[in-house]
Amino acid sequence: MTRTPPVKLAHIVLRTTRFVEMKEWYKLVLMAAPVFEDDHLSFLTYDEEHHRIAVLGMNSLDEPRPGTAGVDHVAFTFADLQALAANYEFLKGRGISPYWCINHGPTTAMYYRDPDGNQLELQIDNFDTDEELERFFATGAFDANPAGLEFDPEVLVSELAGGVPVDELRRRDHWLQTR
């Protein structure tokens, strides 16, 4: 027998005392549809997987405490910058705003908090090939600043609508010019 890695990440299960609020938030943020729901469990998906997110309502949980060990965040990749920007605009119109927007270099990301405070990263890949990503890493820019450069999502949306090329907006050093 030969050991092989998993073929995919199947799903994430979230425990909560805010069952209705959490399942509705994930439906809205990820454009997820319920595959199964009852009074305490919701299986949600946005693709061919039978469920990507499960929300489990439990009445007797302690509130999450910041600064404790556990999962830092979960990331979801969008097809392109236009899709990420359109999702930002949609969520903003419904009172959901990212708390942190940053071009890490390899990715451009917007970070959100769900009703329980779990961190969700919505992102795009900035490089089309592994070779392009490797060339970026070889420049030393990531070593010098692994977090990346923050950006204003309103500027991103405005520049995208104004015709700034996507390849320019995906470049981390582009965001030096907007400070």
**Confidence category of residue 153, pLDDT binned at 50, 70, 90:** very high
**Confidence category of residue 22, pLDDT binned at 50, 70, 90:** very high
Query: For residues 134 and 150, what is the distance between their CA atoms, to the nearest angstrom?
Result: 22
Compute the average pLDDT of residues 127-144: 93
Pairing of strands 41-45, 33-37: antiparallel
Neighbouring residues of 109: CB distance < 8 A, sequence distance ≥ 6: 75, 101, 102, 103, 121, 122, 123
pLDDT at 60: 86
* pLDDT at residue 126 tops 80: yes
* pLDDT at residue 179 tops 70: no
Q: Which domain holds residue 48?
A: 8-61
| Same domain? 26 vs 78 | no
Phi, psi for 105 (deg, rounded to 5): 110, -75
| Same domain? 93 vs 142 | yes
* pLDDT at residue 178 tops 70: no
pLDDT at 64: 75
Compute the average pLDDT of residues 80-94: 97
| Same domain? 93 vs 176 | yes
Return the percentage of the chain with pLDDT > 90, whole number.
Answer: 83
Compute the average pLDDT of residues 89-97: 97
Neighbouring residues of 19: CB distance < 8 A, sequence distance ≥ 6: 40, 42, 55, 56, 57
Return the SS3 of 76.
Answer: strand
pLDDT at 69: 74
CATH of the domain at 99: 3.10.180
| Same domain? 54 vs 81 | no
Query: For residues 170 and 157, what is the distance between their CA atoms, to the nearest angstrom?
Result: 13
Residue 159 domain-assigned (yes or no): yes
- Please give the single-letter amino acid code of residue 84: L
Residue 99 domain-assigned (yes or no): yes
The region of weakest confidence among 32-41, 59-68, 91-100 is: 59-68
End-to-end Cα separation, the chain, in angstroms: 55
Task: Please list the residues that pair with 13 across neighbouring strands.
Answer: 54
* pLDDT at residue 136 tops 80: yes
